[in-house]
Structure formats: structure tokens, C-alpha cells
Structure 1
Amino acid sequence: MSILVGAVLVVLVLALLAYIFTRDSLRKYDLPEGQRFSPADANAVAASAAAVKALNKRLRDASGPLEKMPWSERIHSMRETMDTFFAGADTSSVVTPVDAAGVPAEWVVAPGADCSRRFLYIHGGAFMAGSSKGYRVLTDKLSEITNSAVLAIDYRLMPENKRLDSVTDCRISYDWMLENGPQGPDSFAPTAVFVAGDSAGGNLTLALLAWIRDTRRAAPNAALALSPVTDARFVSPSIRGNLDSDVILRPLAKRLAWVPGFLVGLAARYMAGHNASDPVVSPLLGDLAGLPPILVLASDCEVLRDDGRRYVNKAVEAGTDASLMLWDNVPHVWPIFYHDLPEAAEALEQVDRFFERHS
């Protein structure tokens, strides 16, 4: 009898966990879809498909082996791959390493860029990989198209550090950037300030915006989030729905897809290294009113598509000027592949127009 009672209690506890950790109260933010972009004609469609196919093969060759590696080896390999993937790309900016109040960083300044316009860039990499060096191909382009000095930071990574350490480093860097330019402290008073990040860096960007608002700091003119993580609970429909079509994130998301529904919340808490429902790590779950203009870009076939969609729709409901732009059949954070994909150049053109409107 006691065994039966114990079994019933276990079932009830599991059912309670399933309810607590897998309920999804944000489905109402799955619509509207956002502005969609597709090739204009048959020739463009064919050219795009060929370019995407070639890039996806290169990405699979780079990330495919990760699926079979032990976790510790996987992290090391991820870091090496991200730091060297664009090693041969041409850039024209002057790169200057700096110490941003204890946070390693570098100024990336395109020829002729206005250093009174400052742009904080927060790289992606699942909070465990990525670096300012590995992202120079993108920060160089952002400095050029936004006519600004880009401060690319190297926030502390997991698992050597806590998840919230990355949040702290972004806050410190933002404050430092307001008071320092490429020529030194108070060299130019900022005439415009921007913030952007991709994937994990998109998460940190959106969390930073809420902190800036809540602490009454000088807000950026506008912010950009490329394929951001907005809900660390991993309950957005595309997390599982787009698993097979996401070439880049599949090696990381595949393990989560096998987690039983009632354990997703526990797995999410473990992966976040913090309460996954805290808006500090899940900006979607916070107050999205009173934020600066925000542009979110996402691919229709990536696992984080609905993280971005839900964030924008909730932000618009709260009165924030936010917009979502979706592209078909492109990889996660595709604007960084502007040397390879016509859609990346198109996306960067939209980014340029967005920041120009809010300068």
C-alpha cells in the first residue's frame, strides 16, 4: 500500500512540474507574423538557394562534429570554430583593444566613422562561446553602415563564470562607453548611441535595455537584436518545430528536444544557470513598456524565430516602437554572412535604414 501511495505521489509531483514548467501563456504573441522578405524573382530565388546551400554545407561541416562530442570538448570546439570561421574575411576598420572598466573589449572604427556616434555590440555564442575577434567581420560592417565607433565586448562566458556575470559586464560596458570614446575619456560627447547583439548577445541587449530604463540611465537611440534568445524557458513553438531546419543551432538544441515536457523547465533552469523565469535572463517575461525603438531580425527556419516574434508583439502591445523582420530559408544570424548571401546584404540595408531613422 505504501508503495502505491508513493507511486501516486510521484505521478502527482511530475504532473505538477509539467504544469508549472511547460505551460505557455504567451501564445497570443505568436501573431502577427512580422514583415517578411523573399527574393523578388525566379533568378533571385535560384541564386539565393544556391548560395544558401553552399553556406549550409560549410556550416554543417563546421558544426556537425559537435553533436558527437562530450560537452566539455564541444564548448572548446565551438569557441575555436567561432573565432576562426571568418579569419580570411576582408575588413577595413581600425581595431583598438581597450579595458572597459574591467571588461575586455575593442573599438572597431571604419574609415571616416564619426566617433561621437557610439555603438555597443554584444556577440552571440550560447553564452559559452564567441568573442569580439570572431565578430569583426560584422562589427566592421556595422561601423561602416552606421557611421559610428563600435565597442565590441568580451563578456564573461559560461561555464567558467555565472550566467549573470555576462549581464553585469554588459551594464558596465554600456556605462563606460557613454563616458569614453576611441580617443579616450570624454573625448567626444556621444551624439548618438546604439546597442545591438545576436542570439545570446541579443538576449543580453534586450535585458540591458530594461535595466537602462529601470535605472533611469541615458537610453540608446535605438537597438537591434539579431535572432535573439528572449525566453530562457525554451517554450516557444519554433524551438522544436524548426529543429531540423536550423543548421547552426541544431547541435545545441537537439538535446533539449529529447527532454520530456515536464522536465523542460528544470533543464532550462540548469542551462540558464539561473531562474529561467527571471526577466534578467528572459527579457520576454519582463515589462516591455518605455523601451527605445527596437528592430528584431529572424529567420523563418531557425529555432529562435518565435522568441523574436513574441518579444516584438508583446513590446508593441506595451507601447514600445518595435518591429520584426523575417527572412525565408537563411541560417541563424545570417547578416554576418554578407560575403556569401544576398539576403545578408538586404538585411544590413534594412539595419542601416533603421538606425538612420533613429539617429
Structure 2
Amino acid sequence: MTNTQLSGTVPRQARARATLLGYAMRALRTLPRPVQRAVLNGATAGELPPVAEFVRMLEVAGAMPDPGPTHAELLARFPELAAVEVSEPAIEGVPARLYRLPGGDPEAALVWVHGGAFVQGTLRMAEAHWTGLSLAARGIPVLSLDYRKALHGVCYPAPSDDVLTGWRWAVSQPDLLGVPAARMHLGGASAGGNLAAGVAKRLRDGEGRPPASVVLAYPVLHPEISGWDAAALAAIRDRPGAVYFSPAWVRDLSAHYAGAAGPADPYAFPGLGDLVGTPPTLIVNCEADTLRRSGELYAEQLRAAGVSTSVHLLPGAPHGTLNEPFTDAGLRTVDLLAAWLRRPAT
């Protein structure tokens, strides 16, 4: 696939196929949630469509159906979440949700960014909503941010700028988050982890107050992934229910997301360039996830730069554990995030 195709030109036959899939996804959103789950869960294993086709499909669909649990289903499984107050603060150009328990004296707060391969995801997805509810129920306020997706010609730095705007708003509103700016942390999952780490680097380099720490769940931090042999890749690709990002797909998505900045930009891909001065960082990797190599490499780079770094591996877990609230791996991920945020300041 060429860069020209990734910038928006799709061969005619592929464009027609992607357009048809887009309309199918749009129709699927109108069907009952169990039907959406059955269709999407049966289509997750194996190779993803080429990036240009995937982007075209999403541009037509408007948004992908969300097969995750509803709010009511989350409360039925986790009744303690009902105590959390959820509001939608007005941040210019950046949709957001604020999760807090009434009263209390929080020790830390988290500004959180969901994933979605830079091209999809919403504040309603479990990775955003359940994470916010779960941490807030444990006494950790969460500001969950949305951002512009890399669709319809949008690319870096627009999503990064949105996260930066949300972070700057948070540190200017300590009363709303319940903690001073010095106790606010910045984090994200998957592509959201990329955005959080990239913004943390921008803040380190003078664009605002750095976070107390950086919190990353199964992040992608480099424009390419390496270190996998064919057998290991095939095992992830063929695993039922797993999300499989091939090295070629990650490379093409990176070129699409980076746009004119190019995939060598150290803020678009925070695993590139100097990491000295990065705040303390937590990284949670999933074993059955090709992006794990990026998280592992980033941890090595941080430690070499003298950054306090904590790394955890979820054995056997596929990518996206925070989108699976009813699994042991999903619960373990939230536990790790909460424990990190509650640790004594150093």
C-alpha cells in the first residue's frame, strides 16, 4: 500500500467494498445490542481490512457499533458504581466526562484518554466509561477526554492538541477534580496511551504543567512494531476474539495518523527521541497483543533515560482489557491503575 492511498485515495474496487461495509455498520447500529455483539464478536479474529479501506468504512459508517456493556449492565454487575456522579464539563472543542464520588478528599485524579486506533472510539465505550466509573468509585476522580479522529482529512496534531486542551483545562480546575494540579496524572489506553504519552512529552518541553505521572494501558508508542516471529504473530491472529494488529497494519496506520508530520515525529510517536525528564510511568501490557512489543521497548527506553517505570504483564490477555469489564484481565487492569495512582508521592 502506498502513502498516496493512505492519504485518502482507495482503489475503486476496494473503495466500493469499504463503502458497502460502512453502510452495513451504520445499519448494524440500529439493531438490538445482542445482535451487534454477535456480529462483531464473530468478526474480530484475523486480519483487519487494509488501513485505507478501514478508514473509508468508518467515514461512511459515522461510528462503529459498540458491543460493550451498557451503563445498566455495568451497574447490575458492579452496584458500587451507582454512587459515582457523572457530568459533562464544557471544554472548548473537546467532549469530556467527569467522574467523581460526592464529598471525600481524593489523593489523586486522572485525566484519561480512550483508544480506538486514532480513528474510532467514544466516551461511551467501556474503555472510557467503565474505567472512569471504576476508578472514581475507588475515590480517584477521572476526567475522560474524547478527541478528533483521524478521519475526513484530520491527522496529527489535531488529536494531540485536543488532549493537551483537556489537560490544561483540568489543571486550571482543581476544585472540580478535587485535587491540586500537582496530584493530577495523565493516562490512556492503546492509541489513547500514545496521545497521553505524547502530550506528556509536549508538557515536559514547555507546553504546560507536566502530570504527576503517566499511566498507560497496552499502548502503541512507536510507528512500527518489531520483535515478533511468524509463529507468534499467527497465534495472536488466529485467537478467537483477539484484536490483531499486524506489523504492516501498524506501519500503515502510523503513516495515516501522522499525516504531513511524518512517522518520525517524536511527539506523534513518543517512543522516538529523548525521554529524559519524563514523569514516572506505569505500563500495563497484554501478553496476546502485538502492541506489547511497543510497551516493552518504551519501558526499556524510559529506564535507560533514568525514568521511574513500573511494568506489568497480563498473562494470556488480548489487547483491550479495559473494554472487557466482566473479565479477570479487565478487573486486574483497573486494580493496577488504581494501585499506581494511590501510591505515595515520591
Q: Are the aligned partners of 2:287 and 2:313 in contact in 1 as well (CA < 8 Å)? A: yes
Structure 2 CA distance for aligned equivalents of residues 59 and 111 of structure 1: 37
Aligned ranges 1:44-193 → 2 under 5 Å: 60-61=41-42, 63=44, 67=48, 70-71=53-54, 72-74=56-58, 79-82=63-66, 84-87=67-70, 88-90=73-75, 91-92=81-82, 93-112=84-103, 114=105, 117-134=108-125, 135-145=128-138, 147-160=139-152, 161-181=154-174, 183=176, 189-190=180-181, 192-193=183-184
Q: Are the aligned partners of 2:68 and 2:323 in contact in 1 as well (CA < 8 Å)? A: no
Structure 1 CA distance for aligned equivalents of residues 99 and 146 of structure 2: 13
Length-normalised TM-score, structure 2: 0.73
1:306 paired to 2:293: yes
Structure 1 CA distance for aligned equivalents of residues 89 and 43 of structure 2: 30
Structure 2 CA distance for aligned equivalents of residues 122 and 320 of structure 1: 22
Q: Are the aligned partners of 2:182 and 2:211 in contact in 1 as well (CA < 8 Å)? A: no
Structure 2 CA distance for aligned equivalents of residues 238 and 77 of structure 1: 33
| Partner SS state of residue 90, structure 2 | strand
| Partner SS state of residue 99, structure 1 | coil
User: CA offset at residue 302 of structure 1?
Assistant: 0.3
Structure 2 CA distance for aligned equivalents of residues 188 and 324 of structure 1: 26
1:206 paired to 2:193: no
User: CA offset at residue 311 of structure 1?
Assistant: 0.2
Identical pairs, percent: 21
User: Which structure has the larger Rg?
Assistant: 1
Structure 2 CA distance for aligned equivalents of residues 106 and 267 of structure 1: 28
Q: Are the aligned partners of 1:110 and 1:140 in contact in 2 as well (CA < 8 Å)? A: no
Equivalent residue number for residue 292 of structure 1: 279
Equivalent residue number for residue 317 of structure 1: 304
| Partner SS state of residue 236, structure 2 | coil
**Residues 265, 357 of structure 1: CA spacing in aligned structure 2 closer, same or farther, 3 A cutoff?**
closer
Q: Are the aligned partners of 2:215 and 2:283 in contact in 1 as well (CA < 8 Å)? A: yes
Structure 1 CA distance for aligned equivalents of residues 111 and 328 of structure 2: 26
One-letter code of the match for 1:256?
A
Equivalent residue number for residue 249 of structure 1: 243
Q: Are the aligned partners of 2:233 and 2:246 in contact in 1 as well (CA < 8 Å)? A: no
Q: Are the aligned partners of 1:296 and 1:323 in contact in 2 as well (CA < 8 Å)? A: yes
One-letter code of the match for 1:61?
G
User: CA offset at residue 116 of structure 1?
Assistant: 7.8
Deviation >6 Å, runs of 4+: 56-59, 264-267
Alignment RMSD: 3.2
Equivalent residue number for residue 13 of structure 2: none
| Partner SS state of residue 271, structure 2 | helix
What do residues 239-289 of structure 1 show as CA deviations (whole Å, max 9, x unaligned)? 974354154432xx35936xxxxxx96774235324111111111112111
Structure 2 CA distance for aligned equivalents of residues 177 and 317 of structure 1: 31
**Residues 302, 99 of structure 1: CA spacing in aligned structure 2 closer, same or farther, 3 A cutoff?**
same
Q: Are the aligned partners of 2:243 and 2:318 in contact in 1 as well (CA < 8 Å)? A: no
Q: Which runs of 5+ in 2 are unaligned?
A: 1-36, 76-80
Q: Are the aligned partners of 1:111 and 1:144 in contact in 2 as well (CA < 8 Å)? A: no
What do residues 56-91 of structure 1 show as CA deviations (whole Å, max 9, x unaligned)? 999732635995695322566694334x52223224
What do residues 182-203 of structure 1 show as CA deviations (whole Å, max 9, x unaligned)? 749xx86446101110000000
Please identify, of 318-327 and 97-106, the stretch whose mean Cα deviation from structure 2 is larger: 97-106
Equivalent residue number for residue 5 of structure 1: none
Structure 1 CA distance for aligned equivalents of residues 309 and 338 of structure 2: 16
One-letter code of the match for 2:64?
E
Structure 2 CA distance for aligned equivalents of residues 266 and 58 of structure 1: 26
Structure number with the bigger relative contact order (C-alpha 8 A, sep ≥ 6) is: 1
One-letter code of the match for 2:285?
A
Structure 2 CA distance for aligned equivalents of residues 66 and 95 of structure 1: 37
**Residues 358, 122 of structure 1: CA spacing in aligned structure 2 closer, same or farther, 3 A cutoff?**
farther
What do residues 304-330 of structure 1 show as CA deviations (whole Å, max 9, x unaligned)? 011000000110010000122112211
Number of matched pairs: 290
| Partner SS state of residue 279, structure 1 | coil
What do residues 42-67 of structure 1 show as CA deviations (whole Å, max 9, x unaligned)? xxxxxxxxxxxxxx999732635995
Q: Which runs of 5+ in 1 are unaligned?
A: 1-55, 258-263
| Partner SS state of residue 327, structure 1 | strand
1:236 paired to 2:243: no
Q: Are the aligned partners of 2:280 and 2:307 in contact in 1 as well (CA < 8 Å)? A: yes
Q: Are the aligned partners of 1:60 and 1:248 in contact in 2 as well (CA < 8 Å)? A: no
Structure 2 CA distance for aligned equivalents of residues 332 and 315 of structure 1: 22
Equivalent residue number for residue 29 of structure 2: none
User: CA offset at residue 222 of structure 1?
Assistant: 1.7
Structure 1 CA distance for aligned equivalents of residues 267 and 310 of structure 2: 21
**Residues 108, 65 of structure 1: CA spacing in aligned structure 2 closer, same or farther, 3 A cutoff?**
farther
